[in-house]
Amino acid sequence: MFSRIDSTETTIPELTNSEVKDIRQFLDRSLNETVMCALLHGFYTGVVAVTMWTLVSRKNCGNSRRPRFFIVIILLLYAMATFILFFNWMRCSQYFIAHGQNFWTTYDAYTHESMPMNLIENINAALSTLLADTTLIWRC
């Protein structure tokens, strides 16, 4: 009844069954990774809430700078994790919704991803790792 004609639709090249299977597994893995990231972010939210409650409700802390430092570090790490979730969700919706005419257009969008998107994600991951490792080394 409602047919959508897209003039930019790409034709699917001749692929073997194993290539089609590999592409579909790749796309399935990418979507599952984004959903798992969202579920884990809910877990992170609970851990951050309990940790903040524990740090804020301490009665006797000899050095008042230390809890504030940990609060800032934890909130920065949580903000970076939230950014990664937003970034992955945005990218996944772009590929599966905007380019989701068929499996080939979705895969083609994934393989022709722009360099700045990868760079932003890698910089955020490196900063998160650096911040977490530095704090862990400082505390131990």
With a cut of 70, say whether residue 6 has pLDDT above it: no
What confidence score (pLDDT) does residue 116 get?
Answer: 83
With a cut of 80, say whether residue 84 has pLDDT above it: yes
What confidence score (pLDDT) does residue 125 get?
Answer: 92
What confidence score (pLDDT) does residue 37 get?
Answer: 93
Q: What is the DSSP string of 22-87?
A: HHHHHHHHHHHHHHHHHHHHHHHHHHHHHHHHHHHT-S--S-THHHHHHHHHHHHHHHHHHHHHHH
Angle CA 121–95–5, to nearest 5: 155
What confidence score (pLDDT) does residue 140 get?
Answer: 73
Q: pLDDT tens digits for 8-45?
A: 556 777 888 898 899 899 999 989 999 999 999 999 99
Query: How far is 126 from 86, CA to CA, in rounded Å?
Result: 17
DSSP state of 2: -
With a cut of 90, say whether residue 123 has pLDDT above it: yes
Q: pLDDT tens digits for 40-82?
A: 999 999 999 999 998 888 776 666 666 788 889 999 999 999 9
User: For 23-62, b where at least 16 C-beta lie within 10 A, e where not — what string?
Assistant: beeebeebeeebeebeeebeeeeeebeeeeeeeeeeeeee
What confidence score (pLDDT) does residue 117 get?
Answer: 80
Query: How far is 20 from 51, CA to CA, in rounded Å?
Result: 46
Q: Taking the domains of the chain in order of start, what are their residue ranges?
A: 17-139
Q: Which residue has the tokens 């959508």?
A: 4
Please name the residues in contact with 63: beta carbons below 8 A apart, sequence gap of 6 or more: none
